[in-house]
Every structure is written in structure tokens, then in C-alpha cells.
Structure 1
Amino acid sequence: MQFYYGQQMPLRILDEVEFWKLQEEEHTVVIREALDNLEQEYVDILKKWEQSLSETHQKAVSFVESVNRSQYVYKQLQTQVIQLVTFSLDESMKFIELIRQIKTHSSAAKDNMTAKTILDHIIRESEYFIGIARAVLYSDRS
């Protein structure tokens, strides 16, 4: 991510949140579809995660609309954007924990190299977003 967006920086990070939360939401479906015989408890948890990630995605979309319509990004709006980024980072870290749990404990994934490859890919993508979010949060504090 480039840091020369200046006044548009909140919009840039919101674009990232919007994109990656949609990706994570879709990943819940990919996991459910790709892992044959995934235990019902994981199916149910992934459906709840799909809903939560969708809600975060929609919040990002709403903030994009607010920033787009603002002549100036007021401190309160910028603070709310940073709070959303912080929440999104934490959410992605917890999502990774779930994926690792599935990879380790699910019989549908444990001995299935294809499933492990898919899960590892999903983890890497969420880790990429975490890196972006941390960069934004740390640069905001300096």
C-alpha cells in the first residue's frame, strides 16, 4: 500500500478493509465447500463468521460513502475509521485462529493436503491484510 494518499488515506485504507473483509467472507464459503465432511460445528461457526465478516464489510462500505461525500475528513470520522481498522485487524487475527484450529483439529483437513493448501492460502491472505492494517495504525500513531 502506498502512503502518499494524504487526505485520501482514510479512503485508501477503507478500500482495503472493504476488499479484505469481502475476501474473508467468501473464504468461509470456500472452506465449507472445499472440505468434504467438514464437521457440523465448524460449518456452523463458519456461517456465523460469514455473517460477522459481512457486517464489517458493510461498515467499511458505509464509511467509504461518508468519506467520499465529505469535503474534509473530520477528526471524529478519522477516529471512527481507525477504530474500524483496529476492529478489522483483530477480527482477521481471530479468523486466522479459527482457520488454524480447523487445519489442526478437523478430520476433514488433518490428512488432506489439498485442504491444508487452501487453508494456508486463506491464512496468508488474511495475514497480508493484517500487515496493511498494522502499517496504517502504526503510522497514524507517529
Structure 2
Amino acid sequence: MQFYYGSQMPLRILDETEFWKEQEAEHTIVMRELMTDLEKHYIDGLNRWEEVLESTHQQVRRFITSLKRSNYHISPPLYQQVMELVTFCLQESVAFTQFCRQIKTESQAAKGNHTAKVVIDHIIDESEYFMGIAQTILYEKL
């Protein structure tokens, strides 16, 4: 992501957040389909994560829609809300990657499936990419 958007940066971070939350939700499906012998508690966990991530994705979309309707005017209170949402999304991605790591290291289905381990590492890498973007945005403003 380029960081030269100036006053439009909150819009850009919302675009990134929307994209990555959708990706994370889709990644839960990829993991379930890739490991057909995945233990039930991990399947249940991935189902819950899919719901949570999709809910967050929709919340981000609502923020974007609100900004469009306001002709992209970002008031200080709205800016603060965007930063709080990004903080929440960052924390959510940290927890999601922890769950992915747990599957990779503790699930017998993952341990015996080299492709699954590679895909899980890729999923974690993608979430960490978003986390890096979110941290850069958040820490610039401190």
C-alpha cells in the first residue's frame, strides 16, 4: 500500500481493511475444504471465525458507504471511529492468525498434510501483511 494519500488516508485504510477482512473470511473456507479430515472443534472454530470476519467486513463496508454519502468528508469524530475500527480489525487479525497457527501445530489433519501447512503459512502471511499496514497507520497517528 502506498502512503501518499494525505487527507484521503482513512479512506485508503478502509479499502485495505475491507479487502483483507473479506480475504480472512474466505480463508476459513479454504482451510475447511483443504483438510477434509479436520477435527470437529477446528471446523467449528473456523465456522465461528468466518461469521465474525464477515461481520467485521460488513461493518467496514458500512463505514465506506457512510463516507461516500457524506461526500468523503471525514470529521474528527469520524476519523477517530475509523482509527478505532482499524485497531479492532488489527486485534481481530492477530487472534485469527493465532488460531491458524494452532491448527497448523496441533491438528493431526494439518500435521499430516504438507499442502495444508503451506497454505496456512500463506494465510498467516497475508493477514500479517494487513496487520503491518494497520500498525503503520495507527502508530503514525500516535
* Structure 2 length-normalised TM: 0.96
Moved more, 66-75 or 130-139: 66-75
Does the 8 Å CA contact 1:99/1:123 hold for their aligned counterparts?
Answer: yes
Question: 2:140 & 2:67 partners in 1: Cα distance?
Answer: 20
**Counterpart check, 1:13 vs 2:13:** yes
- Aligned residue in 2 for 1:2: 2
Superposition pairs for residues 1-142 of structure 1, below 5 Å?
1-71=1-71, 72-141=73-142
SS of the equivalent of 1:3 reads coil
Question: 1:108 & 1:87 partners in 2: Cα distance?
Answer: 31
Structure 1 portions without partners, runs of 5+: none
Q: Any idea what the Cα deviations from partners look like across 1:44-68, whole Å, max 9, x if unmatched?
A: 0100000000011001101111122
Root-mean-square deviation (CA, aligned residues, Å) is 0.9
Q: Any idea what the Cα deviations from partners look like across 1:11-31, whole Å, max 9, x if unmatched?
A: 100001100000000000000
Does the 8 Å CA contact 1:22/1:53 hold for their aligned counterparts?
Answer: yes
Q: Any idea what the Cα deviations from partners look like across 1:50-91, whole Å, max 9, x if unmatched?
A: 000001100110111112222420011101100110000000
Deviation at residue 7 of structure 1 after TM alignment: 2.1
Does the 8 Å CA contact 1:10/1:67 hold for their aligned counterparts?
Answer: no
Question: 2:86 & 2:96 partners in 1: Cα distance?
Answer: 15
Structure 2 portions without partners, runs of 5+: none
